[in-house]
């Protein structure tokens, strides 16, 4: 099929099962195609797990293709990234629930160079205008969210900023602070303001993994025969509060690993997608060690940021007393829609990062590893057992993108990276016995690294 023979080119859409088996290859013309489980869909996927009735719309025009989310339950992913709408190129992998599609576009028609340059120039200008508008919207929304959180939570501005940063980067937060510093209140307030479904799990020594992810139970189907059916656990939510996560054994803590990294859980050889956006915010009490189980290193590394909550200042504490002991109730309002959060996450992904800032982040991360030349140059090598891995660098750059976006800037500055170094690294560095004996903490090691590397 080609234009030389008078036959219009077609787009190929290869359909794969969740096991990776090729089910079918569809030839698509220049039209709009709705994909979903519904009978009125142009591409109907009967019985597909986690696929909405009308999940997404695929538009094909003149050798180009675009995918758009139709407010589906689990969202649309292109090349493992969540998108609201996105152009497609040959080889792109589209994930809709448990269904996978690979698109192959026909060769583009040749156009005059002059016309091409005009079109490209116009597209570039439109993209710049859209980016500026998007950043203004994102920055304004974040300001509204801060103000709304401030109606309920007094102070703790750094923690509020950290949670916002993690949400915009599809990351997770670990909150560490003594009891009574509004950790739980803060998470619940965010859930109301963002309009997210939220669940709370109180971690205890007798909590089991099935209490978190769910389990299979025996039920009768429509034909009256008994069959095993999966009963979802509280992890199937959008904002999960893992309260006092260090009070449960490691085997239960590990139940969160797959969910935090891959946004899915697997049970009885079946994988179930979690709703998007998905964020875990865990809390820890640092002063009580009896009956607790320190988080394994692999679990800590899944948390993008580790945020320490300090005592409020005198003025803040006076305001807390005045607010919480009065008879009036202050309510927060919903500020943002779920789809808008996903759109903001995509905007953050498109923030530019100059090579100099990537080099700065890599230099800081490498300085946490005891055998590296950067650690020896910073004078911290004798005090570290092990340092941060590449995931820390990814968290640092992603977080810096979010900080820049919230400030309305299209590119990352050095200050954005330096601002997040401590919350990104403090839980990814292990001090050795010598450091403990000399009173050197992880925060002090980070300070010494920044003195040498972050200048």
CA–CA distance, 153 with 184 (Å, rounded to integer): 11
pLDDT for the residue numbered 288: 63
pTM higher than the cut 0.85: no
- In 49-123, the DSSP E strands lie at 56-61, 64-69, 76-78, 81-83, 85-88, 93-96, 99-104
Phi-psi region at 326: left, alpha or beta (left = phi > 0; alpha = psi -120 to 50): beta
Return the exposure string of 99-128: e unless at least 16 CB atoms fall within 10 Å of the residue's CB, then b: bbbbbebbeeeeeeeeeeeeeeeeeeeeee
Q: How many whole angstroms separate alpha carbon 208 and alpha carbon 166?
A: 27
d(CA 52, CA 154): 41
- Segment-wise mean pLDDT, segments of 10 residues, the chain, 455 residues: 54 76 83 86 76 86 85 77 82 82 76 45 48 84 88 85 90 86 84 86 87 81 76 86 86 83 80 84 76 77 89 87 78 80 87 87 91 87 88 92 89 89 90 87 89 71
Provide the 3-class DSSP secondary structure of residue 353.
coil
Tokens representing 120? 């490209």
pLDDT of residue 19: 61
Determine the Cα–Cα distance for residues 226 and 299; give it in Å rounded to an integer: 38
Predicted local distance difference test score (pLDDT) of residue 124: 41
């Amino acid at each position: 099929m080609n234009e030389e023979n008078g036959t219009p080119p077609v787009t190929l859409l290869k359909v794969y099962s969740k096991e990776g088996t090729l089910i079918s290859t569809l030839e698509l013309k220049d039209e709009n195609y709705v994909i979903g489980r519904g009978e009125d869909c142009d591409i109907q996927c009967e019985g597909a797990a986690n696929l909405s009735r009308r999940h997404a719309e695929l538009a094909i025009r003149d050798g180009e293709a675009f995918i758009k989310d139709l407010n589906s339950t689990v969202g649309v992913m292109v090349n493992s990234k969540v998108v609201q709408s996105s152009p497609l190129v040959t080889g792109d992998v589209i994930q809709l629930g448990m269904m996978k599609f690979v698109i192959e576009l026909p060769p583009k028609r040749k156009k005059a160079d002059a016309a091409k340059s005009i079109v490209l120039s116009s597209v570039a200008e439109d993209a710049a205008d859209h980016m500026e508008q998007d950043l203004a919207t994102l920055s304004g929304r974040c300001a509204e969210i801060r103000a709304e959180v401030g109606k309920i939570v007094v102070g703790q501005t750094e923690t509020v900023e950290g949670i916002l940063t993690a949400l915009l980067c599809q990351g997770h937060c670990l909150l560490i602070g003594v009891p009574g510093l509004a950790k739980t209140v803060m998470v619940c307030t965010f859930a109301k303001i963002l309009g997210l479904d939220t669940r709370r799990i109180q971690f205890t020594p007798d909590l089991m993994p099935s209490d978190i992810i769910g389990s299979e139970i025996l039920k009768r189907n429509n034909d009256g025969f008994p069959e095993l059916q999966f009963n979802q656990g509280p992890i199937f939510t959008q904002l999960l509060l893992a309260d006092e996560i260090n009070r449960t054994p490691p085997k239960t803590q590990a139940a969160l690993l797959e969910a935090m990294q891959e946004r899915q859980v697997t049970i009885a050889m079946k994988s179930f997608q979690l709703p998007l956006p998905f964020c875990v915010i865990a809390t820890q009490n640092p002063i009580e060690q009896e009956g607790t189980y320190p988080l394994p290193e692999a679990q800590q590394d899944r948390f993008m940021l580790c945020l320490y909550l300090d005592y409020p200042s005198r003025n803040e504490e006076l305001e807390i007393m005045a607010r919480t002991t009065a008879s009036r109730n202050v309510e927060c309002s919903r500020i943002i829609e779920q789809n808008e959060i996903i759109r903001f996450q995509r905007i953050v992904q498109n923030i530019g990062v100059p090579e100099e800032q990537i080099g700065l982040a890599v230099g800081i991360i490498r300085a946490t590893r005891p055998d590296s030349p950067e650690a020896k140059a910073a004078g911290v090598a004798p005090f570290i057992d092990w340092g941060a891995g590449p995931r820390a660098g990814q968290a640092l750059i992603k977080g810096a993108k979010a900080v820049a976006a919230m400030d309305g800037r299209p590119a990352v500055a050095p200050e954005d990276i330096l601002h997040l170094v401590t919350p990104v690294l403090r839980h990814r560095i292990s001090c050795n016995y010598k450091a403990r004996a000399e009173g050197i903490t992880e925060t002090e090691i980070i300070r010494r690294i920044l003195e040498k590397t972050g200048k």
